[in-house]
Amino acid sequence: MGAFVIRGGKPLFGTVAVSSSKNAILPIISACLLSGEECLIKQIPGLDDVSGMCELISNLGADVKVNGRARQISVRTPHLTGHTADYEVVSRLRASFLVMGPLLARAGKAKVALPGGCPIGSRPVDLHLKGFEAMGAQIQSGHGYIEAFCPDGKLKGTTIYLDFPSVGATENLMTAAVLAEGRTVIENAASEPEIVDLAAFLNKMGAKVSGAGTDTIVIDGVDKVHGTEHTIMPDRIEAGTLMTAAALTGGDITLTNVVPEHLKPVTAKLRESGMEVIEQGSELRVRGMARPVALDIKTHPFPGFPTDMQAQMAAYLCFAEGTSVIVETIFENRFMHVNELKRMGAQIRLDGRTAIIEGIDCLQGAQVRATDLRAGAALVIAGLAARGTTEVLDIHHIDRGYEFIENKLQRLGADIQRQ
Ligand code: EPZ
């Protein structure tokens, strides 16, 4: 399953470009199903999840052409040839559930396997389904599948209140509402930057979406949408991961292709822990000034501290001076990295959704295992700063969301090899 071998202690120096966002491109690839015309998506990251989503929409009738050299994909879906996303695909890629919105919008029906849980939590989809029902879809579940059907062929616009600002539910309902009859208002919507990127893509297709980035999104249904071109936004979580690695190793790096606004919570916390972060237009410079000072962190939906950066910050704070407290409010089991960090000598105590971290001046290299995408990233960060050699196993988890992370880190002077 692949491993990274990391010899710790080398500060990161230099400049590297951040890849495009995994969590922006997945709903956008799914939204291509809404149009019969060509959608050209540029700056695609070379990620396993992107390949998986392209494979899924191809199975539904999309003609997908991937130009790896130009880092772009062309998607044309003149006719849907299916409306089922089967368990084999959905179990590998949870984001597959995002095809339900476009399928209901375009075909008036969808059959999608329940995604099931994953290491970080049970990951229910009740908010997605509640929204579809409010728009007039009939929902049936059984044998591990959700079937949705619009009795008179089209969804109807309505006002939907999300009990929780779910990113996926907001994205699924936005895309479903694009071709619905009338106006849909999503209240208590997620406001993550990836939602804004999806709305920009939909509007370029001729949809009428407003309010993305706030907690109230309004979509006025249209009869059809046309093709378009779109460049995916930078990956704020990859950027935050590299910032944290540079700060922890006492380095000095510049990241290009970033939107500093997207990284405010991470920048604030790195500065609070004593690091220097300089915002320079579409670049960010991070300097590790000294051993980090302990912090308190509580994850929240955007613009709060992102849950997708929690594991990375936990690794960072293992080296801090003082006691840090991290509260994970979004997912019920997102501390899988803790036991692995403890194999490296970290002093962490868990109490429900709270991790109490007694910082020590250095962790020791060890053999550790990536349990999920961001836990794997946390172990890489810890290995870069640890004394000795760290071997991170099961790095296929990391490849799902980081495009050749070892190449980027090598360019910054890290001693990391893929095996
Ligand atoms: C997206 O997942 C991201 N994935 C996640 O990134 C990210 O952690 C998450 O948003 C939160 O920011 C993609 O965009 C592909 P949610 P999503 O729906 O949409 C509960 C990564 O590491 N919930 O906002 O699945 C749910 O259980 C990944 O890149 C319901 O209860 O997240 C969770 O506790 C991991 N019912 C919370 O909401 C629902 O119907 C947040 O889930 C939906 C969600």
Q: What is the DSSP string of 258-322?
A: --GGGGHHHHHHHHHTT-EEEEETTEEEEE--SSPBP-EEEB-STTSB-GGGHHHHHHHHTTSBS
Gap between the Cα atoms of 198 and 167, Å rounded: 11
Cα–ligand 1 centroid distance for 94 (angstroms): 10
Ligand 1 proximity of 374 Cβ (cutoff 6 Å): yes
Q: Which of 200, 206, 236 is nearest to 221 (CA)?
A: 206
Rg (CA), the chain: 21
User: What pLDDT, on the 0 to 100 scale, is given for residue 92?
Assistant: 86
Which residues are bridge partners to 160 per DSSP? Answer: 186
Q: What is the mean pLDDT of residues 359-388?
A: 97
Place of tokens 């999920």: 372
| Tokens, residue 26 | 């997945």
Q: pLDDT tens, 243-284?
A: 999 999 999 999 999 999 999 999 999 999 999 999 999 999
- For strands 354-358 and 347-351, give the pairing: antiparallel
Q: What is the pLDDT of residues 143-199, one digit of tens each?
A: 999 999 999 889 999 999 999 999 999 999 999 999 999 999 999 999 999 999 999
Query: Ligand 1: distance of its center to the CA of 68 in Å?
Result: 28
Q: Is the pLDDT of residue 1 over 80?
A: no
Report pLDDT for 121: 82
The reported pLDDT for the residue numbered 281 is: 93
Atom of ligand 1 nearest to the CA of 121: 27
The closest of 318, 360, 322 to 341, measured between CA atoms, is 318
Model confidence at 118: pLDDT above 80: no
For the CA of 374, the nearest atom of ligand 1:
22
* Residues 388-400, mean pLDDT to the nearest whole number: 96
Q: At which residue do the structure tokens 């396997």 appear?
A: 113
Average pLDDT estimate for 62-91:
92
Three-state DSSP state, 171: helix
- Residue 20 is predicted with a pLDDT of 96
Helix (H, G, I), strand (E, B), or coil: what is residue 65? strand
Mean pLDDT along residues 36-45 = 96
Which atom in ligand 1 lies closest to the alpha carbon of residue 26? 15
Does residue 95 have its Cβ closer than 6 Å to ligand 1?
Answer: yes
| DSSP-derived secondary structure for 212-231 | BTBSEEEEE--S----EEEE
Q: Beta-carbon neighbour count of residue 140 at 10 Å? A: 10
The residue behind tokens 């172990």 is 379
Alpha carbons within 13 angstroms on the beta-carbon side of residue 208 total 15
**117 in ligand 1 pocket by Cβ < 6 Å?**
no
Q: 24 in ligand 1 pocket by Cβ < 6 Å? A: no
Is-contact 384 245, C-beta < 8 A? yes
Cα–Cα distance measured from residue 246 to residue 11, given in angstroms and rounded to the nearest whole number: 7
- Residue with more model confidence, 86 or 264: 264
Cβ-Cβ contacts under 8 Å for 124 (sequence gap 6 or more): none
pLDDT at 148: 97
Catalytic entry in 118, 150, 318, 362: 118
pLDDT of residue 413: 98
Question: Does residue 60 register a pLDDT over 80?
Answer: yes
Q: Cis link prior to 78 (omega < 30° from 0)?
A: no
Looking at residue 69, what is its pLDDT? Answer: 87
pTM of the model: 0.97
Mutation test residue for ligand 1: of 21, 167, 373, the one with most atoms within 8 Å of CB: 167
Residues in Cβ contact with 210 at an 8 Å cutoff, skipping those fewer than 6 apart: 217, 218, 219
Task: For residue 87, name the pLDDT band (cuts at 50, 70, 90).
Answer: confident
Please say if the pLDDT value at position 48 is more than 90: no
Out of 42-46, 115-119, 227-231, 381-385, least confident range: 115-119
Q: What is the 3-state secondary structure (H, E, C) of 324-376?
A: EEEECCCCCCCCHHHHHHHHCCCEEEEECCEEEEECCCCCECCEEECCCHHHH
Of residues 404 and 4, the one with the higher pLDDT is 4
The pLDDT tens digits for 13-26 are 999 999 999 999 99
Ligand 1 centroid vs 146 CA: distance in angstroms? 18
Q: Is the pLDDT of residue 115 over 90?
A: no
Asked if 287 and 275 touch (Cβ cutoff 8 Å), the reply is yes
- pLDDT above 80 (res 416): yes
**Residue 305 CB–ligand 1 contact under 6 Å:** no
Percent of the chain with pLDDT strictly greater than 70: 100
118 assigned to active site: yes
Q: Residue of the nearest CA to atom 30 in ligand 1? A: 124
pLDDT at position 64:
97
Angle at the Cα of 164 (from 163 to 169), degrees rounded to 5?
A: 100
User: Tens of pLDDT along 278-315?
Assistant: 999 999 999 998 999 999 999 999 999 999 999 999 99
Residue 119 has pLDDT above 80, yes or no: no
What does the DSSP assignment read for 183-210? Answer: EEEEET----HHHHHHHHHHHHTT-EEE
Q: Is the CB of 123 under 6 A from ligand 1?
A: yes
Output the residue whose Cα is nearest ligand 1's atom 44. 166
